[in-house]
């Protein structure tokens, strides 16, 4: 029985080995190129994906650096614009203040001139009225023979009228 088991086992080994070799030959003939083509295509796809990812990463880094530069430039430009606006504002403020001071000086000089003119006109008017009142008073005194008390009363009354005017 031992020979039977050994011969059956040996036969099985030969049949299995032969079947395996036949299978390998058939796979080599009919399917090996297709299988290796699939693996080759997969390898190329993975390599292309890796290359694409690397290119995309480099492009992203380039864009990030470009955006950083543009952001920095934008910040510089914004700072320059703010500085320019401050300078313009300061210059405008100083110009407005200078114009206001000039206007105030001009208005003050005109007011002083108007005051002086009004004062001169008032003094001239008062002088004229005093002269007229003096002449009128002298006429009344000359036409009327008055005693000292009546003259004094008349003068006081005219002076009061002068003060009211």
The chain-wide mean pLDDT, for the chain, equals 83
Each residue's pLDDT tens digit, 35-92: 888 999 999 999 999 999 999 999 999 999 999 999 999 999 999 999 999 999 999 9
Q: Write out the residue range of the structural domain in which residue 39 sits.
A: 2-164
The share of the chain scoring above pLDDT 70, in percent, equals 82
pLDDT of residue 70: 92
pLDDT of residue 10: 83
Q: H or E segment at 68? A: helix 32-143
For residue 150, pLDDT beyond 90 = no
Can you tell me the distance from the alpha carbon of 120 to that of 39, in angstroms, rounded to the nearest whole number?
Answer: 118
pLDDT of residue 156: 78
Each residue's pLDDT tens digit, 6-40: 667 888 899 999 999 999 999 889 988 888 889 99
pLDDT of residue 118: 86
pLDDT of residue 122: 80
Q: Mean of the pLDDT values across residues 87-109?
A: 90
pLDDT of residue 143: 63
For residue 159, pLDDT beyond 80 = no
pLDDT of residue 1: 45
Judge residue 101's burial from the number of C-beta atoms within 10 Å of its C-beta, 0-12 exposed, 13-18 middle, 19 or more buried: exposed
Q: How many domains does the chain have?
A: 1
pLDDT of residue 74: 92
């Amino acid at each position: 029985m031992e020979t039977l088991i050994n011969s059956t086992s040996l036969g099985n080994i030969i049949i299995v080995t032969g079947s395996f070799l036949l299978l390998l030959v058939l796979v080599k003939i009919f399917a090996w190129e297709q299988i290796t083509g699939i693996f080759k295509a997969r390898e190329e796809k993975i390599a292309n994906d890796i290359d694409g990812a690397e290119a995309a990463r480099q492009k992203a880094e380039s864009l990030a650096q470009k955006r950083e530069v543009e952001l920095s430039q934008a910040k510089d430009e914004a700072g320059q614009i703010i500085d320019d606006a401050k300078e313009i504002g300061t210059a405008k403020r100083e110009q407005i203040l200078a114009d206001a001071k000039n206007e105030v000086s001009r208005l003050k000089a005109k007011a002083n001139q108007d005051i002086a003119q009004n004062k001169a006109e008032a003094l001239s008017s008062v002088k004229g009225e005093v002269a007229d009142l003096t002449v009128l008073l002298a006429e009344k005194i000359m036409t009327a023979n008055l005693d000292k008390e009546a003259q004094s009363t008349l003068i006081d009354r005219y002076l009061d009228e002068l003060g009211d005017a």
